[in-house]
Structures are given as structure tokens and as C-alpha cells.
Amino acid sequence: MVTLQCKKCGKDFQVSPSRAGKRSCCSKECFDGLPKTWLVGHKHGFEKGFTPWNKGLPMSEEAKEKLKETLKIVRPKKPAKEKLPHPCRWKKGDNAGEKHWAWKGGNSYRYKKGYKTVEYREWRTAVFERDNYTCKCGFKGSKGYITAHHIKSFAHYPELRYEVSNGITLCEKCHSETDNYKGRNKIAKL
């Protein structure tokens, strides 16, 4: 053990040789009472709420004049760059409709409008009522979300869209396992 003298209270204390260069006080209380010399002038050393020594003191006329001169210096402003549109961004309408690369004559998603019709809502209700609001796996609609699924695709068989016999009530889990879930068509149109 090595004997050292506390820098705060002056008492002698012992530490292991490996800690001799790291300890300067006999206790945490003594260490907390020491002035923190490493904070003085340190760039990031001031704690929140630190009050500078000259806060509230009146400024001399000489200091005020120096400050005025410093503030008079106007840094030259950079000329404003003209904002050009990014080549990948299009103005509204420049890449819409017939001008778009994926244009298919205006019928790419026409079938989607059918989901918002009164006929669709009536078909959905009729399918739910026929199946007693219960999925084929036994899941009840009162416990979670159920959906009316088209056995033959809504998009590929427009003549069967509102046939109650073409619908079945499914929970979300069973619906995700179907062949045409969210546009996935594993079985081609017959």
C-alpha cells in the first residue's frame, strides 16, 4: 500500500500502488469540495446555470465602441443561388395521365372504384349475414376484423363482383393465405 496526503483536508490515507496516481483525496466528500481546475477555460466545462463573472456589470464606453465597430462590419452575402428543379422532380401534370410512362389507356385501376359503390357494400353485408359474421376457421367478427373475400378475383371477373355465391367471410389471417390476397394472383383467370 502507498500512503498519500489528502489535498483537501491534509489527512494521510493509503491506496494500492495501481491507484496512487489516480487518487488525490481521502474521500468523495473531500474530492467534491475541491475546486474543479479542469473546468476553468475549458470549452465544454461550464455547467448549465453557470453565471459569468461579468454578468450585470456595466460596460465601459471603450468596450461599447469596440462592440459597435465589430457589429458594423458587414460580411458580404453570398449571391442567392437560383433554385432549379431537380431533374427527377416533375411539375404537377408534367408526368401525369397520358404523359406517364406506365399509362395504360386510363383503365389500370378502374376496377378499384367498384369497392366504393353501394352495390359492393350491399354484397359485403349479404356475405357477412349469410356466414353469420364468422370466418371459416371459427373466428367471430365481434373479436376482430373480418373481410368479405371474393373467391374469383374482383378485378378479373367483373360479372361475378356482386354475386353473393362468389363471396366468403374471412378473418385477416385466413384472408392473407388466399390466392388473390392484395392483388396476388397465383391462379390465372380460367
Range of the domain at 165: 117-183
Residue pair 160/152 in contact (Cβ under 8 Å)? The answer is yes
Q: CA of 22: how far to CAs of 18, 89, 140, 154, in Å?
A: 8, 61, 70, 77
Q: Which helix (H) or strand (E) holds 65?
A: helix 61-72
The mean predicted confidence, pLDDT, of the chain is: 77
Q: Is residue 12 part of a domain?
A: no
Residue pair 146/131 in contact (Cβ under 8 Å)? The answer is no
Range name among 27-36, 48-57, 87-96 with the lowest pLDDT average: 87-96
Name 167's Cβ contacts closer than 8 Å, sequence gap at least 6. 123, 124, 126, 127, 148, 149, 150, 151
Residue pair 178/150 in contact (Cβ under 8 Å)? The answer is no
Q: Is residue 171 part of a domain?
A: yes
CA distance linking residue 152 with residue 187, whole number of Å? 10
Checking 130-138 for CB contacts under 8 A at 24+ apart, the result is: 130/164, 130/169, 131/168, 131/169, 133/169, 134/169, 135/169, 135/170, 135/171, 135/174, 136/168, 136/169, 136/170, 136/174, 137/171, 137/173, 137/174
**Total number of domains constituting the chain:** 1
Q: Is residue 52 part of a domain?
A: no
Q: Is residue 146 part of a domain?
A: yes
Q: Is residue 47 part of a domain?
A: no
Q: Is residue 128 part of a domain?
A: yes
Q: Is residue 107 part of a domain?
A: no
- When pLDDT is averaged across residues 151-178 and rounded to a whole number, the result is 86
Collapsing DSSP states into helix, strand and coil, what is residue 15? strand
pLDDT digits (tens, 9 = 90+) for 12-28: 988 888 888 778 888 88
CA distance linking residue 61 with residue 53, whole number of Å? 19
| pLDDT score, position 100 | 75
**Predicted TM-score (pTM) of this structure:** 0.41
- When pLDDT is averaged across residues 82-101 and rounded to a whole number, the result is 66
> Which has more pLDDT, 100 or 124?
124
